[in-house]
Chains A and B, each alone.
Chain A
Amino acid sequence: MRGRMTMETIKLTIDNKQIEIEKGTTILSAARRMGIDIPTLCHMKLDDLNIENKPGGCRICVVEVQGRRNLSPACITRCDEGAVVRTHTPRVMNARRTVMEFILSDHPKDCLICPKSGNCELQDMAIRLGIREIPGQEIAEMSTYRKDTSPSIIRDLDKCIMCRRCEMMCNEVQTVGALSAVNRGFMAVVAPAFEQNLEYSPCTYCGQCVAVCPTGALTEVDHTGDVLRAIADPSKTVVVQTAPAVRAALGEEFGMKPGSLVTGKLVSALKELGFDYVFDTDFAADLTIMEEGTELLARLGKFLNGDEDANIPILTSCCPGWVNFFEHNFPDLKDVPSTAKSPQQMFGAIAKSYFAEKINVSRKDMVVVSIMPCLAKKYESQRPEFSVDGNPDVDFSISTRELAHFIKQANIDFNNLPDADFDRPLGESTGAGVIFGNTGGVIEAAVRTAYELYTGKKLSRLDFDELRGMEGVRQATIDFDGFPLNIGIAHGLGNARKLLDDVRAGRSKFHAIEVMACPGGCIGGGGQPLHHGDSSILKARARAIYEEDKNKPIRVSHENPYIINLYKEFLGEPNSEKAHHLLHTHYFDKKAKIIVKQ
């Protein structure tokens, strides 16, 4: 379409420079294209994901447009033909500064101990605008709110600047609807309905609100202290697992360019921190493929035999945000997702049984820590069904960001660490396990294994490009030796909702659907280093994940020798009774858990 249409262009002047630009462009993007960086605060745009937050609320980006009575917000004002725009007149600079002083006058000044210090967009703006004092602060009342701590997320709304990014993420992108603006005027703030705690809201803990929050208003619950105490306890054997997406992003926290793979340094750092065993969640991802792939083939077999209870399509279940989402929103479909636990929980279950037995450590003396790109993993690890006699399979889940802080606290020179290898047996993984970190990766890994098991043939190519990409909803048909397997992929819960609505209405044509709660998949998770609205970072991480896959000697899960061994020594067959007991779960109707109480 675009190719055929001749784009209508207009000419305008910004800061005395002429530019010709497509009609409909905002002043902000026109200026940026000319190298004029108009400061913004509430605005955020993830180009490749079609996500944009532009309430025009902060008014930091105001500019002077000749002929207009008031200053105009550059982020939402479209360029007009012949417009004369000036971005740094005294009037503009005074207005920007005064508005910034307003915002800061209602913001705590405890930067020293704020979890976002050094990574805060408001702090950056205060520095950029050279704010040194807030006139009238001594008589300025601050808006304060009750602090809310949920299993995954802390809301400290005294620090909310009403940029509404979290609200946009929660409502428009994720369609979760846990957060929206409440109250009016000075007390206006973003919160669950009736200013309830997040715990009683439909929140899925996907953490996308945290991922976009420019200030310290939304942050993760920090478990690094718990982990440090566990390591310090000589009676505990501390086992750590790291999720695939972590190695593709952690480097950013140490100044490396996005997309740097730091697997070896990550393992070194964890060993330096004092973990007794450093394992890989990718191992559990391979295990997931064995269980979920087998389940897929079983259901598919029933389906092809005309069994009406075949439960097709099968939905992936590795993503805890997604699991929370369907438990809240589609409890009627709770039999449709795969019963396979997520890799994090499979790992915990195997570590505290198979591995604990192997090294002769009792369950209660073993502490399993997970490093995750995700905040929902914190909640998942605390689900009661994932514990034995009150002892959780995974004791603590910490995010990529928390790990980075932990490494910095321990004065480890990350950038100069030598590469190290994961421990065995739970550290060996295949390329299939790695790609779990990207949207489409779980289903690609499943297809690699399911194809070979179903057809008994070796795949000639392992890269399924048709399953990759950043489109919100994707579909592909894979030829399973004559049987066309229809696959749907959604990332972002809003996109998942579209596919689920079809399933509920009985009009879904898919046999298998992969859902990841976060845009981009785990690489864009709520626990990852902050992208600050730069979607090229997400793309670089995705590339790094596929690169890691390519470099792996084994790229299909069922060929992982340690997985083969695990079944031989311990589990028997995939989907065996023991496997079911340890590696599968069931889901709950959580609609009623959303409590509205006054």
Chain B
Amino acid sequence: MHLLVCGGTSCRASESALIAESLKRELEEKGLGNEVQVIMTGCFGLCEKGPVVKVMPDNAFYVQVKPEDAAVIVAEHVIKGKPVQRLLYVNPSTGEHVRDPRQMGSYRKQIRIALRNCGSINPENVNEYIAREGYAAIGKCVAEYTAADVIDVIKKSGLRGRGGAGFPTGLKWEIASKNRADQKYVVCNADEGDPGAFMDRSVLEGDPHSVLEAMAICGYAIGATKGLIYIRAEYPLAIQRLKIAIGQARDYGLLGNNILGSDFSFDIDLRYGAGAFVCGEETALIHSMEGLRGEPTNKPPFPAESGFMGKPSNVNNVETFASVPVIINKGWEWFSSIGTEKSKGTKVFALAGKINNVGLIEVPMGITLREIIFEIGGGIKNGKKFKAVQTGGPSGGCLTEHHLDTPIDFDNLVAAGSMMGSGGMIVMDQDDCMVSIAKFFLEFTVEESCGKCAPCRIGNKRIYELLTHITKGNGTPADLDRLRNMCLVIKDTSLCGLGQTSPNPVLSTMDNFMDEYMAHVTEKRCPAGSCRDLMKYTIIEEKCVGCTACARGCPVNAISGERKEPHFIDQEKCIKCDACFERCKFGAVLIN
């Protein structure tokens, strides 16, 4: 028998280590030390109800356990085999104490659809994919469905593009299917570029066949025989696994002529991108594939009308494709039963920042930020206070405490001033300066702008410069008006989605954290204490004993003072390196 004690950061904070100790002690006392082991585990993703203890192999799940509960667990459950009712998890929908996690309702916040095979199958073995219903969906399509049927299923499923804007996938396919041409293309956008986002890479590395199969299904639906995956060259492992997968699929005849004995033929090639963020924009992506400069062009025409080599092309991103085969296999009814009214299914997020469980998660649409951050994510690192979460990467916005209980879907995020984006989710705590965060994202867009249109090429640079100006304490309240105007004009006039969304991080932080901006420009103060230029190191005379440790450690000789006399920091010379603060044993160095 094993007693699993959650050792996730959040449970540790509420004394789970002590619980483990107590359990061990109780077991020793009862002479069970050798038979029953107490194991600390990683996070159960149930932090709100922590600390959590699970009894194996009984699967009993105890929540909000206290160290003093150790005795009763050992006495009742371990020795007598009777679960301790009062500690069992309460199913929120029935209000009953349940002992089997299978009856715990939606305790598991995640549902893996796009990631269904990631981490389970060997991505280099097509048979393992087939064993899990792989290629059954394309089989079903060619044998039982017309192209229109396939489009109908995808439309009814409510699947929307996972690349950012959330355009209905079925509708996109329908438009491409209606454009007549001698050649059409299915393009998979694997040019994942948001800072910190890697869901597409994970799908391609963990389950490449699901994307290949979905592209074939799309080809069948729109009448294309050729597929192209535009993947950044910085993803060598994904490229290697895709190549292996394409090879195996061709060997089996799952790509190529007359797939599974049908009239349908489809094959896929890879195209490599040099990693420009803007090449995630579909027209820029297509130009890049054609060997031209990766720059967007005005839409219309949309790729569905005139795409790769001027032919109708359907562009979807990796995660969108990865969701398709399951929808065909399990039916649109199943898929559309997950999620919210207008956003169906699940979304993969790359959870990062000041959060305990940094990782890749897949959650049903409609989950709240609170559930993601405080349960799946295990809460804020080092017990700090949550401040904001950035979704949608450099195109998105910062959401605050007020938004924590908003069900996440495409439309709610936009309404809250952010966007779904490709699924980056960066959590920030009290130490993060929102002006600096906005500056960080602008630095990225300044780097990644293609330079074609003036507002994005120059305007973003000007915003970045003004933000830098403000974080150095040189801004004025009038600058904030100018900043907002520049942001609004860039949004309003830029050529492509990159420029049209690049000011979002600034606008949303201005909307939600205006007080921080004001503190920077009026008091020349950074409330989060992160803008180095606004920090001031001083020595508290009463606390300073004149030990000279700070003066000796100062790399720029900014500190003066006689031995055993209070010291003084020359603000002109100080470079805010923190050396004095670290060296002072008397807490005499004050940072503000």
A and B touch in the complex (CB under 8 A): yes
Pick the contact of B451: A73, A95, A140, A187 (CB < 8 A). A187
A99 touches B454 (CB 8 A): yes
A31 at interface by CB-CB < 8 Å: no
Which stretch, B251-259, B481-489, B566-574, touches the partner chain A?
B481-489
- How many residues of chain B get a CB closer than 8 Å to chain A's CBs? 36
A71 touches B492 (CB 8 A): yes
Give Cα distance in the complex from A55 to B458, angstroms: 17
A186 touches B457 (CB 8 A): yes
**Chain B contacts of A78 at CB under 8 A?**
300
User: Given known contacts A136-B466, A139-B466, A162-B454, is B495 in contact with A186 (CB within 8 Å)?
Assistant: no
> Smallest CB-CB separation from B459: which chain A residue?
A102
**Chain B contacts of A94 at CB under 8 A?**
485, 489
B300 CB to closest chain A CB, in angstroms? 8
A19 at interface by CB-CB < 8 Å: no
A569 at interface by CB-CB < 8 Å: no
User: Given known contacts A102-B462, A105-B462, is B492 in contact with A188 (CB within 8 Å)?
Assistant: no
A58 CB to closest chain B CB, in angstroms? 5
B449 touches A186 (CB 8 A): yes
A161 touches B454 (CB 8 A): yes
Give the residue among B295, B455, B482, B491 with the most A Cβ atoms within 10 A: B455
B454 touches A59 (CB 8 A): yes
Pick the contact of A59: B293, B450, B482, B495 (CB < 8 A). B495
A99 touches B489 (CB 8 A): yes
A429 CB to closest chain B CB, in angstroms? 47
Which stretch, A177-185, A231-239, A257-265, touches the partner chain B?
A177-185
Contact with A along B468-500 (1 / 0, CB 8 A): 010000000000001001100101111100001
Among A147-164, those with CB < 8 Å from B are: 161-162
**Chain B contacts of A181 at CB under 8 A?**
293, 295, 451-452
Contact with B along A79-99 (1 / 0, CB 8 A): 000000000000100110011
Is the contact region of chain B dominated by helix, strand, or loop, or is it mixed?
helix
Give Cα distance in the complex from A63 to B297, angstroms: 18
B454 touches A184 (CB 8 A): no
B270 at interface by CB-CB < 8 Å: no
A273 at interface by CB-CB < 8 Å: no
B451 touches A162 (CB 8 A): yes
**Chain B contacts of A180 at CB under 8 A?**
293
B149 at interface by CB-CB < 8 Å: no
User: Given known contacts A70-B493, A98-B485, is B465 in contact with A184 (CB within 8 Å)?
Assistant: no
**Chain A contacts of B276 at CB under 8 A?**
184
A187 CB to closest chain B CB, in angstroms? 7
B459 touches A99 (CB 8 A): yes
A308 at interface by CB-CB < 8 Å: no
**Chain A contacts of B90 at CB under 8 A?**
none
**Chain A contacts of B403 at CB under 8 A?**
none
Contact with B along A169-207 (1 / 0, CB 8 A): 000000000001101111111000000000000000000
B446 at interface by CB-CB < 8 Å: yes
Give the residue among A57, A58, A103 with the most B Cβ atoms within 10 A: A57
A141 at interface by CB-CB < 8 Å: yes
B455 touches A56 (CB 8 A): no
Contact with A along B280-302 (1 / 0, CB 8 A): 00000000000001010110100
**Chain A contacts of B300 at CB under 8 A?**
78
Pick the contact of A56: B297, B457, B486 (CB < 8 A). B297
User: Given known contacts A95-B489, A136-B465, A140-B462, is B297 in contact with A102 (CB within 8 Å)?
Assistant: no
Query: How many inter-chain residue pairs (CB < 8 Å) link A and B?
Result: 113
**Chain B contacts of A314 at CB under 8 A?**
none
Give Cα distance in the complex from A75 to B509, angstroms: 34
B118 at interface by CB-CB < 8 Å: no
Pick the contact of A185: B457, B491, B492 (CB < 8 A). B457
A475 at interface by CB-CB < 8 Å: no
A59 touches B455 (CB 8 A): yes
Contact with B along A49-63 (1 / 0, CB 8 A): 000000111111010
A89 CB to closest chain B CB, in angstroms? 12
**Chain B contacts of A76 at CB under 8 A?**
298
A462 CB to closest chain B CB, in angstroms? 46
User: Given known contacts A70-B492, A95-B493, A139-B469, is B447 in contact with A58 (CB within 8 Å)?
Assistant: no
Give the residue among A102, A135, A139 with the most B Cβ atoms within 10 A: A102
Pick the contact of B298: A73, A105, A106 (CB < 8 A). A73
**Chain B contacts of A91 at CB under 8 A?**
492
A340 CB to closest chain B CB, in angstroms? 40
Give Cα distance in the complex from A506 to B492, angstroms: 54
Among A11-70, those with CB < 8 Å from B are: 55-60, 62, 70
Pick the contact of A141: B451, B461, B489 (CB < 8 A). B461
A123 at interface by CB-CB < 8 Å: no
B453 at interface by CB-CB < 8 Å: yes
B448 at interface by CB-CB < 8 Å: yes
A77 at interface by CB-CB < 8 Å: yes
**Chain A contacts of B459 at CB under 8 A?**
98-99, 102
Give the residue among A76, A95, A189 with the most B Cβ atoms within 10 A: A95
A184 touches B489 (CB 8 A): no
Contact with B along A398-436 (1 / 0, CB 8 A): 000000000000000000000000000000000000000
B495 touches A57 (CB 8 A): yes
**Chain A contacts of B298 at CB under 8 A?**
56, 73, 76-77
Give Cα distance in the complex from A162 to B293, angstroms: 14
**Chain A contacts of B457 at CB under 8 A?**
162, 185-186, 188
> Smallest CB-CB separation from A180: which chain B residue?
B293
**Chain B contacts of A185 at CB under 8 A?**
446-451, 457, 460-461
User: Given known contacts A99-B455, A180-B293, A185-B450, is B493 in contact with A59 (CB within 8 Å)?
Assistant: yes
A77 CB to closest chain B CB, in angstroms? 7
**Chain A contacts of B458 at CB under 8 A?**
102-103, 105-106, 186
Contact with A along B497-524 (1 / 0, CB 8 A): 0001000000000000000000000000
Give Cα distance in the complex from A496 to B368, angstroms: 64
A158 CB to closest chain B CB, in angstroms? 13
Give Cα distance in the complex from A422 to B367, angstroms: 88
A184 touches B453 (CB 8 A): no
B493 touches A99 (CB 8 A): yes
**Chain B contacts of A59 at CB under 8 A?**
453-455, 493-495
**Chain A contacts of B461 at CB under 8 A?**
106, 140-141, 185-186
> Smallest CB-CB separation from B482: which chain A residue?
A135
**Chain B contacts of A141 at CB under 8 A?**
461, 465
Give Cα distance in the complex from A181 to B451, angstroms: 9
A-B contact pairs, 21 of them (CB 8 A): A55-B297, A56-B297, A58-B453, A59-B453, A59-B454, A59-B494, A70-B492, A71-B493, A73-B298, A76-B298, A94-B485, A98-B485, A102-B455, A102-B462, A139-B466, A181-B452, A184-B278, A184-B450, A186-B446, A186-B451, A188-B450
Inter-chain pairs besides A94-B489, A185-B450, 8 sampled, C-beta below 8 Å: A59-B455, A70-B493, A102-B459, A139-B469, A141-B461, A181-B293, A184-B448, A186-B446
The 6 A-B pairs of least Cβ separation, nearest first, read A188-B451, A185-B449, A102-B458, A98-B489, A59-B493, A186-B461
